[in-house]
Amino acid sequence: MKTLLAIVLCFAPAGLCAEKPSWDAKAAAAYLDQRAAWWAAWKPAARDHGTFCISCHTTLPYALGRPALRSALHETAPSTGEQQVIDNVRKRVRLWAEVEPFYSDAKNGVPKSAESRGLEAIVDALILTNADARTGEFTAESRQALEHMIALQYQTGEKAGAWIWLNFHNEPWEADDSQYWGVTLAAVAIGNAPASYRATPPVRDAVQLMSGYLQREQARQSLLNRLGLLWAAAKTPDLLTAEQKETIVRDLLAKQQEDGGWNTSSLLPATWKRKDNTSLDTASDGYAKAIAAFLLEQSGMPQSSAGVNRAIEWLAQHQDHATGQWPATSPNKQRDPATDAGKLMSDAATAYAALALEGK
CATH of the domain at 294: 1.50.10.20
- Counting beta carbons within 10 angstroms of the beta carbon of residue 323, is it exposed (0 to 12), middle (13 to 18) or buried (19 or more)? middle
pLDDT of residue 21: 52
Let me know if residue 12 belongs to a domain. no
Closest C-alpha to 58, from 352, 344, 355, 349: 344
Structure pTM? 0.93
Q: Confirm whether 18 is domain-assigned.
A: no
Q: What is the pLDDT of residue 3?
A: 41
pLDDT of residue 278: 97
Q: Which residues of the chain have pLDDT under 50?
A: 1-20
Half-sphere exposure in the Cβ direction for 32 (13 Å, CA)? 34
pLDDT at position 360 is: 75
Is residue 183 situated within a structural domain?
A: yes
Indicate whether 19 belongs to any domain. no
146-181 burial code (b ≥16 CB/10 A, e <16): bebbbeebbeeeebebbbbbbbeebbbbbbebbbbb
Identify whether 2 is part of a domain: no
**Does residue 169 form part of some domain?**
yes
Residues contacting residue 58 through CB under 8 Å, at least 6 positions apart: 35, 36, 39, 344, 347, 348
Number of domains in the chain: 1
Give the pLDDT confidence score for residue 99 in this predicted structure.
Answer: 98
Residue 130: inside a domain: yes
State residue 17's pLDDT score: 37
Instruction: Give the integer Cα–Cα distance in Å for 151 and 157.
Output: 16
Whether residue 85 contacts residue 140, with contact meaning beta carbons closer than 8 Å, is answered with: no
- Structural domain including 317 reads 24-44+52-357
Q: Which amino acid is at 150?
A: I
- pLDDT at position 20 is 45
For residue 16, being part of any structural domain is answered with no
- Residue-by-residue DSSP string for 216-247: HHGGGS-HHHHHHHHHHHHHSGGGS-HHHHHH
Handedness of CA 187, 188, 193, 199 (dihedral sign): positive
